[in-house]
Amino acid sequence: MKKLLLLLLLIPNLVMGESQLNLKLLCIGNFSSYCGADICLGGDDDTSLPITIKNNVFVSRVFGDYALKVSSRIISAFELNENGELVFGFNLERYSGNLLIQKRIIPSKESVLPITYNRYEAKCEKEDINKRKF
C-alpha cells in the first residue's frame, strides 16, 4: 500500500516536470563591438558562431555561461547591473531562428579602444550531428 501511495504521489511530478533543452546551433550573422553608440570593430556579416545549450544553460567561450528562460516561442536570458543597465542579453526566436546577443564590456585601463559592448545578430539553424564533415 505504501508503494502504491508513493507511486501516486510521484506520477504528477514526472508528468509535470520541466523538460531540459539541449541544442547545438550554427549561427551566421554580424558581430560588432561598440564604443558608445558607434561601431569601432567588426561589422562582418559572415561571422559564424556555434551555439550550445545544455540543460537550459547557454554555454559559450566567447560570452560565458548563462541560465536561460525557455518558452514555446523564445529562449532568453537577461542580466542587469545594480543601475538597471543591461549587462548581458540573449534572445533566440524558436520559429525564425533569429538570435541577438549583447554583452557589456568594461574596458581595462590598458585597453586602447574603449569598447562598451559586443553585439551579435544572426540567423541560426540546428547543427546536423549525423552530417559528414568531409
Q: 61: pLDDT confidence band, cut at 50, 70 and 90?
A: confident
Residue ranges and CATH numbers for the domains of the chain are 19-126 (2.40.128)
**Mean of the per-residue pLDDT values for the chain?**
80
* Whole-number Å distance between alpha carbons of 93 and 100: 9
pTM across the whole model: 0.74
Residue closest to 115 by CA, chosen among 128, 104, 131: 104
Quote the DSSP letter at residue 109. Answer: T
